[in-house]
Chains A and B, each alone.
Chain A
Amino acid sequence: MAARILPVVKLATKVTIAGGALYIAYDSGLLGSSEQGSEALNRAKAAIPPAVEEWMKYFGLETPLPTMPKVEFSPVQAWNSGVRRSISSLSEAPTKATQYTNQGLQYLKDLTK
């Protein structure tokens, strides 16, 4: 009799797990509008350090784990500064090119004097 119920139980477990995952995703606003998503992201970011601390205490590792070095790196700033620099170098390129060619020609002229 157990052999007949087992497939049903397996299926029920799988459906429960999948349904639970779907419900969690829906409930935490991950599938809603953009504001809900960013709010969920902020909540997750705020909840990580205490959770990590608890896990470390649970495992008995009291060593000051290398806390995420507060890297002052903002991808937005990096991208913006990269764009600015490339565009300004592009706009200065013709002037610089003429300067360098003039300098090169001057140098060659001096050589042949």
Chain B
Amino acid sequence: MSEKELGKKWDRCLADGAIKFGTGLGLGIVFSVLFFKRHTWPISLCSGAGLGMAFSNCQNDLRSSYLLHRSQKEQ
């Protein structure tokens, strides 16, 4: 993996993290207001879940150059 590609991957990771955190925050606010009587825990739960999704995506992306992909298997 070249230096440039690695930089792009990190950029994507950070942007993805911000997007998923924002999405989680929004959905958490919606759920908290509608179902959970405006408590704080749904908001933190959903934004944390968003961050976790972003972390998992990032991990997969950075590892992908060391794994054998299905398309590369012969026969």
**Contact residues of A with B, CB < 8 Å?**
14, 17-18, 21-22, 25, 30-31, 33-35, 37-38, 40-41, 76
Number of B interface residues at 8 Å Cβ cutoff, please give it. 19
Inter-subunit contact A34/B61 (CB<8 Å): yes
Q: Shortest beta-carbon distance, B19 to chain A, in Å?
A: 4
- Report whether A31 and B12 are in contact in the complex, using a CB–CB cutoff of 8 Å: no
In the complex the two chains form, is B35's CB within 8 Å of A18's CB? yes
Chain A binding site: helix, strand, loop or mixed by DSSP?
helix
| Residue of A18, A31, A38 touching B23 (CB-CB under 8 A) | A31
> When the two chains form their complex, are residues A41 and B15 in contact, meaning their CB atoms are under 8 A apart?
yes
Could you tell me the distance between the alpha carbons of A49 and B12 in the complex, rounded to whole angstroms?
24
In the complex with contacts A17-B34, A31-B53, A37-B19 CB distance below 8 A: yes
Residues of B within 8 A of A (CB): 11-13, 15-16, 19-20, 23, 26-27, 30-31, 34-35, 53-54, 57-58, 61
CB-defined contacts of B57 to chain A, threshold 8 Å: 33-34
Supply 28 A–B pairs (Cβ within 8 Å), ascending by A. A17-B30, A17-B34, A18-B35, A21-B26, A21-B30, A22-B27, A25-B23, A25-B26, A30-B23, A31-B20, A31-B23, A31-B53, A33-B16, A33-B57, A33-B61, A34-B12, A34-B15, A34-B16, A34-B58, A34-B61, A37-B15, A37-B19, A37-B20, A38-B15, A38-B16, A38-B19, A40-B19, A41-B15
Find chain A residues with CB under 8 A from B31 CB: 18
Q: Contacts of A21 on B, CB cut-off 8 Å? A: 26-27, 30
Measured CA separation A82–B23 after assembly (Å)? 31
**A25: nearest residue on chain B (CB-CB)?**
B23
